[in-house]
Every structure is written in structure tokens, then in C-alpha cells.
């Protein structure tokens, strides 16, 4: 077997995944192996959520989609409150259990079309396509309450732990050419407000149409100029 496939098998084994069934020399098996490695490269090893790389790629696609279609989309930035305290008092293994429990709660709170990602140690993000501003607060509050009411049973101590999350959110400006960085910055600003105002809170920007930044206005103006010269 070629060395690269031995390495591929090691990567799958490290991630707790079995190799594809069938003949390792067949094109079908090799394609299945490539597909599994691609999937593995887009997943967070601890939680199984989308990782930062997959999140950034999805965010860029969603920005383009909103600019072209005008459909609303919401980006949520989430952070586990006082997570350092969990690590300091319970240990890093307990911290990992908390992260996995919160990740599971987030996945249970959204639609199949939404993307949930772990983008940092205790930091998560959710991209919600086709999410109207009238429903944004409801969705975010549902997620916050789901975590708040979820006892986490730590192993091996069998101790129950309750944690909360802070959530900030921003809508992508519809029909406006924005950037992933600008959209994420807006959501992060709202998350900062949620944490400084007491934590275990949701803070969302107003609807997208009312919050077009100067840079986004410039991007929109530049696009019109390009169209005029075509």
C-alpha cells in the first residue's frame, strides 16, 4: 500500500473513524478515502462541529448569496461564560466535556440547513441562512435557554454542572456587497455587549437594512462603478 494511504489510515484512526470498506486498490475505495479525509479536514476534532476553516468558507459563500439574492441571514457569535473558571476548578478534561455538551445543545437547537462551528477554545459561531430579522431574537433566545437549562454530568465525578452562554448577532446587509470580516466584526461587537452587560444574554444588531457601514457603502458604490464601465 502506498505510504500516503498508510498516513491516511493513521489520520482516520486518530479521529476514531474506520476506513471505507472494500478493496484498498480499487478507485472506488480510494475516492471514498479522499472523501473521508476532506470531511475530516473540515471538522473540529473535539466536538465534530465545523471547524474555523469550514466556517470561514461557509461565511464567505453566505455573504455572496445574500448580496445576490437579498435573502436575510443571521450570524451568531457565542461564548461560554466564565469558562476559565471551569478549567481552573474542574480541570481541562471537565472543560472538554462542557465544550462537547454545549456543542451538542447548539446542534439540537438549529435547523439542518444552519451551520454550527467551533471557532476557538470556548467560542462558537452559527450561520443561519434565510433567517428573517423578526425571528432572529427568538432563535437566539431559544439557543441561550437550551444551554442554560441543561445540566452537564461530569465524568468520572458524576458532578452536575450548569453553564451559560452569551450570544451576539448581526444580519448580513441584504442586496449589499459586504465581507465576511465586516459581518463577523458586527456579531463580535454584539457578543462583547452581551458579556459586558452581565453575560447569559442575547444582543442582536437591528435588522440588516438599518445597519450598512461606511465600508459596505463604499463596496456597493464600487460595484456600481464597475457595472457602469462594463
CATH of the domain at 86: 3.30.70.270
Describe the strand order of the beta sheet including 123-129 as a list of residue ranges.
Answer: 115-118, 123-129, 73-80, 165-171, 202-204
Can you give the C-alpha Rg of the chain in angstroms?
Answer: 21
Tell me: do 36 and 63 sit in the same domain: no
Choice among 100-104, 134-138, 142-146, 175-179 with the minimum mean pLDDT: 175-179
Q: Which three cell numbers, joined as nine digits, stand for 51? A: 471547524
pLDDT band at 174, cuts 50/70/90? confident
What pLDDT score does 224 carry?
43
Residue 122 bears catalytic tag: yes
pLDDT one-digit tens code per residue, 140-169:
999 999 999 999 999 999 999 999 999 999
pLDDT one-digit tens code per residue, 115-133:
999 999 999 999 999 998 8
What pLDDT score does 226 carry?
44
Give yes or no for residue 216 having a pLDDT over 60: no
Model's pTM, two decimal places? 0.79
Q: What percent of the chain shows pLDDT beyond 90?
A: 59
Question: Is the distance from CB of 100 to CB of 46 less than 8 angstroms?
Answer: yes
Tell me: do 79 and 98 sit in the same domain: yes
Q: Which three cell numbers, joined as nine digits, stand for 122? A: 470556548
Average pLDDT, rounded, for the chain: 84
Distance CA 171, CA 187 (A): 8
Tell me: do 56 and 13 sit in the same domain: no
Cα–Cα nearest to 83, from 56, 118, 107:
118
What pLDDT score does 227 carry?
46
pLDDT one-digit tens code per residue, 87-122:
999 999 999 999 999 999 999 999 999 999 999 999
Q: Is residue 227 part of a domain?
A: no
Choice among 39, 60, 71, 122 that is catalytic: 122
Cα–Cα nearest to 80, from 143, 161, 163:
163
Q: Is residue 145 part of a domain?
A: yes
Tell me: do 88 and 9 sit in the same domain: no
pLDDT band at 228, cuts 50/70/90? very low
Give yes or no for residue 178 having a pLDDT over 90: no
Enclosing domain of residue 163: 52-218
What pLDDT score does 218 carry?
58
Overall domain count for the chain: 2
Amino acid at each position: 500500500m502506498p505510504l500516503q494511504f498508510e498516513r491516511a489510515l493513521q489520520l482516520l484512526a486518530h479521529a476514531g473513524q474506520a476506513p471505507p470498506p472494500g478493496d484498498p486498490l480499487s478507485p472506488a475505495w480510494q475516492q471514498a478515502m479522499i472523501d473521508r479525509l476532506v470531511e475530516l479536514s473540515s471538522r473540529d476534532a473535539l466536538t465534530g462541529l465545523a471547524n474555523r476553516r469550514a466556517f470561514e468558507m461557509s461565511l464567505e459563500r453566505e455573504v455572496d448569496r445574500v448580496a445576490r439574492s437579498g435573502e436575510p441571514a443571521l450570524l451568531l457569535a457565542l461564548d461560554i461564560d466564565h469558562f476559565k473558571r471551569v478549567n481552573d476548578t474542574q480541570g481541562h478534561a471537565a472543560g472538554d466535556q462542557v465544550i462537547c455538551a454545549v456543542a451538542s445543545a447548539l446542534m439540537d437547537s438549529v435547523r439542518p440547513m444552519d451551520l454550527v462551528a467551533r471557532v476557538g477554545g470556548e467560542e462558537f459561531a452559527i450561520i443561519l441562512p434565510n433567517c428573517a430579522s423578526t425571528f432572529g431574537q427568538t432563535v437566539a433566545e431559544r439557543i441561550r435557554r437550551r444551554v442554560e437549562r441543561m445540566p452537564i454530568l461530569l465524568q468520572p465525578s458524576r458532578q452536575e454542572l450548569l453553564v451559560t452562554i452569551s450570544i451576539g448577532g448581526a444580519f448580513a446587509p441584504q442586496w449589499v456587497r459586504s465581507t465576511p470580516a465586516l459581518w463577523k466584526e458586527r456579531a463580535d461587537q454584539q457578543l462583547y455587549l452581551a458579556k459586558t452587560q452581565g453575560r447569559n444574554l442575547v444582543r442582536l444588531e437591528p435588522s440588516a437594512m438599518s445597519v450598512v457601514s461606511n465600508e459596505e457603502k463604499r463596496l456597493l458604490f464600487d460595484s456600481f462603478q464597475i457595472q457602469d464601465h462594463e
